[in-house]
Amino acid sequence: MNNYNTIVIGGGPAGLACAVKLHKNNVSCLIIEREQYLGGILKQCIHDGFGLQRFKEKLSGPEYAERFVNEVFELNIPFIVNAFVVSIEKKDGYTINVSTVEGIKTYTCENLVLATGCRERTSKQVEIHGSRPKGVYTAGAVQHLVNVDGVIPCKKCVILGSGDIGLIMARRLTLEGVKVEAVYEIMPNPSGLKRNIYQCLVDYDIPLYLSHTVKRTIGYPNLEAVEVMEVDEKLKPIEGTEKIIECDCLIVSVGLIPENELAGRIGVLSDARAKGARCDLDFETNVEHVYTCGNATHVNDLVDYVSESGEVVADAIRDRNDSERKLIDIEVKGRCAYLVPEMIDVNKKNNKRVMYFRSNKILKNATVTMKVDDKEILRRVYANLRPPEMERIVVDYPELSENSKVVFEIEEAK
Amino acid sequence: MKELTCIVCPNGCELTIDEKTLEVKGNKCPRGADFAVNELKAPSRTISSTVKTSFKDVPVLPVRVSKEIPKEKIFEVMKEINRVTVDKRIKSGDVVIANVLGLNVDVIATSDILLNEEHYGKH
């Protein structure tokens, strides 16, 4: 009884939405989750604002996740928790070896969905010198401590990086009586959403220093202060701008990267721009029968789109036929940071396909086009495009062939 | 002229409001105009936090206010939230503090986390 049509690895918002839709599509599936409970990162995102697009309500993270988790319970969709995928073998479909509380278990499936989410970049991945004192955390680690474990880890903190989780934790810690000295961002523009700058920093008079970075930690075994410096246009610290800020905690919020360790081991290729698994318009990767969705594909800023991509996968699996795949790459030009999906299977029907992109620069009146063999099939003008804000488009592709040239371009207003 | 960022939805429109005429510019939808006017007259926010519980498996339970509260009451409401210890296995949406500080707003649980044992069994 360990055979399923589809196995979904990851019980966060992408995996849950995918599994619920698969079940409704009459496709048998199993969710494998390594944590104790389903819900993924949303379990610790207690702030509100989730689900505005999908439910037209401002939900907290747990409320959003539990809408799907409760469906999993009600529909009796099989899942296992405390289960860690150890290895995946490819033979007559996929064989998945899972470490569980009852020992190693083996499952087989025809289709595999990698809904493994993303991970935080750590202080070791940005250049911070000094000893390794206690008191240096990623924003997500602090979020778990405060919102799940009920532990307030500090009295006075400095935040490096203006990512959304860092901004949200600045507010959260302030509410719990922690003094948040400041947020330092190495880039000349904030990396979090504007509304979070406003409601998390401006509301609480927390200063944001752009073009500034933390260069060194001071103190051992406990953090006592950090040294901050201003940086030039090339992001190089400017000598003479050193400032020492006393604090017992440094929170690092310097970005997220899709998690694709399992994907890599079975030959799934990653995209250099989006950093996640490359996929076609069904979110099927270069490896047949292996799908990607949610933050494992690219880091989304709204969970609504994470769920949406899980559902696209579920419908693709329902409609799957085993015609030969012919993949072509979409060429990306101009001011585009990334476009997802990156490929098209020209043998599939590709009408009305959801795609996501970001610009690599703040742009006003930018023109976005999609061309097939120099013929425009989509054109949109955006009053504003900002790298922190992902955009969603629906593209209706004509019939394509192996030789079709598909080009996506973001042009700056002249 | 006052400059604000709308926090109603993820668009985050950059708004300006004329303090005298209350004319709002930069909003893509009517909710943005309402937000700007409220922000000038009586700014309000929703807040999310956690309350302590008496259960070992779930040390804290996520909560939020059921409606927006006046911005200047945020820290007073936080004080009330931090006074509470939940000792029943309540569910998402259940009231933790009714009519907090007489603001006609409840503090409600936002997770079924206390019912996890029911769904997942004991570990």
Interface confidence, given as ipTM, is 0.93
**Low-confidence residues of chain B: pLDDT under 70:** 122-123
For residue A262, the SS3 value is: helix
- Same domain for B67 and B112? yes
* pLDDT at residue A123 tops 80: no
Residue A1 has pLDDT above 70, yes or no: no
Banded model confidence at residue A140, pLDDT cuts 50, 70, 90: very high
CB A336 within 8 A of CB A357: yes
Q: Give the E-state strand segments of chain B in sequence order.
A: 2-5, 14-17, 24-25, 44-45, 48-55, 58-65, 69-70, 85-86, 95-97, 107-109
Same domain? B102 vs B63? yes
pLDDT at A346 over 80: yes
| Same-domain check for residues B71 and B18 | no
Q: At what angle do helices A61-74 and A13-24 cross, to 10 degrees?
A: 30
DSSP A324: P
**Does the pLDDT value for residue A29 go beyond 70?**
yes
Query: Residue range A106-121: average pLDDT?
Result: 97
The answer on B75 and B111 residing in a single domain is yes
Lowest mean pLDDT among A100-114, A170-184, A393-407, B9-23: B9-23
Tell me which residue has tokens 């703040």: A362
pLDDT for the residue B112: 97
Residues from chain A contacting residue B28 (CB–CB below 8 Å): none
Task: Identify the pLDDT of residue A126.
Answer: 74
The whole-number average pLDDT for the span A124-134 is: 80
Question: What was the pLDDT predicted at B94?
Answer: 98
Could you read off the pLDDT of A358-377 as tens digits, one per residue? 999 999 999 999 999 999 99
Half-sphere exposure of A369 (CA within 13 A, CB side): 13
- Residue in B10, B59, B64 closest to A195 by CB: B10
Instruction: Determine the structural domain holding residue B9 and report its residue range.
Output: 2-41
Q: In this structure, are B116 and B67 located in the same domain?
A: yes
d(CA B50, nearest CA chain A) in Å: 7
* B70, B111: one domain: yes
For A47-81, the pLDDT digits (tens) are: 999 999 999 999 999 999 999 999 999 999 999 99
DSSP of A127-148: --EE---BTEEEHHHHHHHHHT
Query: Nearest Cβ partner of A150 from B10, B60, B78?
Result: B60
Q: How many domains does chain B have?
A: 2
Residue A36 CA to residue A56 CA, distance in Å, equals 30
Q: What's the CA gap between A340 and A332, in Å, rounded?
A: 10
* pLDDT, position A230: 98
Pick among 3.20.20.20, 1.10.3720.10, 3.50.50.60, 3.40.50.11740: CATH of A122-254: 3.50.50.60
| B26 plus B58 within the same structural domain | no
Query: What is the CATH number assigned to the segment(s) A1-120+256-320?
Result: 3.50.50.60
Q: What is the pLDDT of residue B122?
A: 61
- For position B84, which CATH number holds? 3.10.530.10
Write down the pLDDT at residue A128: 82
Q: What confidence tier does A414 reach under pLDDT thresholds 50, 70, 90?
A: confident
pLDDT of residue A91: 85
Task: Let me know whether B53 and B110 are in one domain.
Answer: yes
* Residues carrying CATH 3.50.50.60, chain A: 1-120+256-320, 122-254
Query: A147, B46: Cβ pair inside 8 Å?
Result: no
Given this model, what pLDDT does residue A408 score? 98
- Checking if the pLDDT of A27 tops 90, the result is yes
CATH number of the domain at A324-414, out of 2.60.40, 1.10.287, 1.20.120, 3.60.21? 2.60.40
A96 and chain B in contact, CB less than 8 A:
no
Average pLDDT score over residue span A191-210: 95
- In this prediction the pTM is 0.94
pLDDT surpassing 90 at residue A159: yes
More confident site: B3 or A244: A244
**Residue of chain A nearest B10, judged by CA positions:** A195
Residues B81 and B96 in one domain: yes
For residues B10 and B68, membership in a common domain is answered with no
Pick from B9, B75, B116: CB nearest A37: B116
Q: What are phi and psi of A114, to 5 degrees?
A: -95, 100
